């Protein structure tokens, strides 16, 4: 009589006997690093051994997984689909065999946090220091994004996405910090000019977008007339261009405060109430290592504390 039960046979688990499950560890490394060399270093294999493992994975999955594209490499669509389930499978397997819980002092994983360049400008340095101090063998990867898509939350090995409350998320979110909107201008604007004077007299530096950029709808509701003098594609460029090129802008306070340490920037409170803008955390729903999730959540909260 076969030792494989009807449930296992029906679910296809019996076929796993012919599969080398040890390939899952190098497979995840290949998918997340997108490099044979880096993946080999990560799991402790030689480069020839990792190349051999990649060939076996390609035969097993009937897919190229990693393909050359110009001067770099890209993942195939099938490979992108595999990242989240393979990672979740390995994390659950670690729990089954009772591996020790996440130990930041010894862990060597790549910690991936996706966020806009503006948020990275605010949180990146402090988060980097914290990870270096608390998890000295880990690598922090900051992946910059513009408008998040559903795949942002699960692909490219992302552990957590930090996004503005203005963007939707298909998964649960938690507030990391709240920010406020301020008026920023170059330091050579007339000192007697108040915030409202600056908004109406100076050309605005605005992010180029198909939709009205937050919070300009409020200015229009207040009947404030303004003129757009410069359109740019990145929020982080706004305060730098204002400081060096002149003009005025509406910006998140923490971004403005951080930029003011590098360039001479005038920061004024808004002349009337503007809605705040919160930054939320959305963790990859496939992350099964709850000890790691709790640790990373704490690191993010510490990094977000106002100085």
Same-domain check for residues 153 and 27: no
What confidence tens digit (pLDDT) does each residue in 128-157 have?
Answer: 999 999 999 999 999 998 878 877 887 777
101 within some domain: no
Cα radius of gyration rounded to whole Å, the chain:
24
105 within some domain: no
CATH code at 185? 3.40.190.10
Same-domain check for residues 116 and 150: yes
The token duo for 30 is 């290949």
Same-domain check for residues 145 and 287: yes
What confidence tens digit (pLDDT) does each residue in 8-66 have?
Answer: 444 566 666 666 778 888 888 888 888 888 888 888 888 888 888 889 889 888 989 88
Query: Do residues 173 and 278 make contact, with C-beta atoms less than 8 angstroms apart?
Result: no
Give the residue among 63, 67, 82, 71 at the shortest CA–CA distance from 36: 67
226 within some domain: yes
Q: State the pLDDT at residue 212.
A: 63
6 within some domain: no
14 within some domain: no
> CA-CA distance, 161 to 144, in Å (whole number)?
10
By residue range, what is the domain housing residue 129? 110-177+278-303
Residue 10's SS3 state is helix
Q: pLDDT band at residue 161, thresholds of 50, 70 and 90?
A: very high
| Full-model pTM | 0.70
Q: pLDDT band at residue 99, thresholds of 50, 70 and 90?
A: low
Count of domains observed in the chain: 3
Same-domain check for residues 185 and 269: yes
Lowest mean pLDDT among 211-215, 235-239, 272-276: 211-215
């Amino acid at each position: 009589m076969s030792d494989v039960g009807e449930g296992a046979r029906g679910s296809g688990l019996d076929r796993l006997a012919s599969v080398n499950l040890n390939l899952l560890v190098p497979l995840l490394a290949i998918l997340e690093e997108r490099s044979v060399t880096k993946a080999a270093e990560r799991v402790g294999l030689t480069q020839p051994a990792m190349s051999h493992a990649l060939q076996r994975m390609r035969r097993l999955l009937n897919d190229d997984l990693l393909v050359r594209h110009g001067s770099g490499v890209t993942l195939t669509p099938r490979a992108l689909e595999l990242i989240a389930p393979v990672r979740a499978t390995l994390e659950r397997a670690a729990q089954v065999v009772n591996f020790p819980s996440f130990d930041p002092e010894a862990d060597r994983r790549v910690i991936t946090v996706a966020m806009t360049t503006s948020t990275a400008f605010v949180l990146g340095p402090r988060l980097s220091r914290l990870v270096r101090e608390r998890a000295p063998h880990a690598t922090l990867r900051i992946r910059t994004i513009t408008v998040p898509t559903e795949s942002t939350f699960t692909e490219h090995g992302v552990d957590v996405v930090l996004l503005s409350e203005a963007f939707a998320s298909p998964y649960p979110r938690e507030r990391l910090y709240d920010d406020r909107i301020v008026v920023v201008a170059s330091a050579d604007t007339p000192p007697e000019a108040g915030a409202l004077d600056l908004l109406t007299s100076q050309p605005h530096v605005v992010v180029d977008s198909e939709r009205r950029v937050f919070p300009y709808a409020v200015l229009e509701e207040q009947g404030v007339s303004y003129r757009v003098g410069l359109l740019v594609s990145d929020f982080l460029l706004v305060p730098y261009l204002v400081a060096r090129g002149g003009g005025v802008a509406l910006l998140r306070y923490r971004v403005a405060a951080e930029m003011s340490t590098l360039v001479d920037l005038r920061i004024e409170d808004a002349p009337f109430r503007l809605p705040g803008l919160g930054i939320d955390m959305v963790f990859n729903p496939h992350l099964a290592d709850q000890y790691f999730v709790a640790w990373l959540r704490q690191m993010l909260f510490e990094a977000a504390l106002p100085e």
